[in-house]
Amino acid sequence: MVLAMVCGFAGMSLAADETVKIGVFLPLTGQNAFGGQLELEGVQMAHKEMGEVLGKKVELFVVDNKSDKVESANAVKRLIEKEKVQAIIGTYGSSLAMAGGEVSEKAGIPQVGTSCTNPLVTQGKKYIFRVCFIDPFQGAGAATYAYRDLGLKKAALLIDVANDYSVGLASFFNKSFTKLGGEIVATLNYQSGDQDFTAQLQEIMSKQPDVLFIPSYFAEGAIIMKQVQELGGTFKIMGGDAMDNPEITAIGGSAVEGFMHTTFPYDPSMPDMNPVAQKFTDEWKKINPDSDPNVNAALGYDAYMIIMDAITRAGSAEPQAITDALAATKGFVGVTGTTTINETHDAEKPVGLVMIKDGKKTYIGAITPEL
């Protein structure tokens, strides 16, 4: 009996050693669910493509962070303590990534963010990384294009003051736009979940801006644009990567025509995409023939693959080995371009720009921000 027990435990240990456990925490319900679900689809596509690493099966554990900071921390705690994961992917939403990141950091488990662009996500962290660029770079990209390329001199801001992403991105746009010589003529606020923006928009319109910058999530952003149209606003409207969602035209209709936003350097409309991006696009269309892939799915895919790349280069799936290999990542070619992880664990990659043209998202090209 004792011998059988010993053999049984040895078998369990062997099985555990032959498996690599990757955790995923994303908003699959709540305010940010649409973005989280897209990123999960990208992660699952990558997992289907590369379900083994170093000859070991990769197991994927997915937990819904419910678009909530407390739930994010709890989700990461569950992945680490119950599922015993060796690395974690997530999440859409910078505030959610920060909450979960605190848990990963204390446990010494590497975490790779998908689309969490606030600089605070990785600040001072040893184990937190991301495959997306950060908001200072993105904000400067939008401001540079507005001022330098479009010749727009007066800007207004409409900010969700309850959202870290919105507040941060607006601040960086403001800083870059004024440094270039532009003027911020109005700064108005709202709260997440608001549906009526007419009072703020009437105040903005009285200041006669050339451009309105809305660092919003796509649903609220589309509603804002509809109300601008109803009020007769004629200024340009720009936004950030959180507006990169295929539902924006369904919600906003004709009001989103001409809208521009920064994004990561991937879109199915882009010419001359790299072979990884082309393969991802073709595979997505096979699985989802009625919808185009978006950049959130691409970031989910890249987050998974950069962890697999780190494990392969390290020759080990131990958390510290993965962490060290992630920190040394140079020239990783993914769907969203070529990524190098810098000393602050942020991804260095170009800023893309897209426009809604004839009811469809059209990739304009990459911007070199003036910081």
Using the predicted structure, report yes or no on whether residue 6 has a pLDDT greater than 50. no
Tokens at 131, concatenated: 């495959």
Local confidence band at 2 (pLDDT 50, 70, 90 cut-offs): very low
Using the predicted structure, report yes or no on whether residue 10 has a pLDDT greater than 70. no
Using the predicted structure, report yes or no on whether residue 311 has a pLDDT greater than 80. yes
Mean pLDDT of the region 253-280: 93
Give the predicted TM-score (pTM) of the model: 0.83
How many residues in the chain?
371
What pLDDT shows up at residue 246? 80
Q: How far apart are CA 259 and CA 22, in angstroms?
A: 37
Mean pLDDT of the region 275-300: 93
Q: How far apart are CA 209 and CA 211, in angstroms?
A: 5
Domains along the sequence of the chain with CATH? 2-133+276-350 (3.40.50.2300), 136-263 (3.40.50.2300)
Mean pLDDT of the region 262-282: 91
Using the predicted structure, report yes or no on whether residue 3 has a pLDDT greater than 80. no
Mean pLDDT of the region 324-331: 98
What pLDDT shows up at residue 12? 39
Q: How far apart are CA 255 and CA 235, in angstroms?
A: 12
Specify which residues 56 forms β-bridges with. Answer: 53
SS3 89: strand
- Phi and psi torsions of 67, nearest 5°: 60, 30
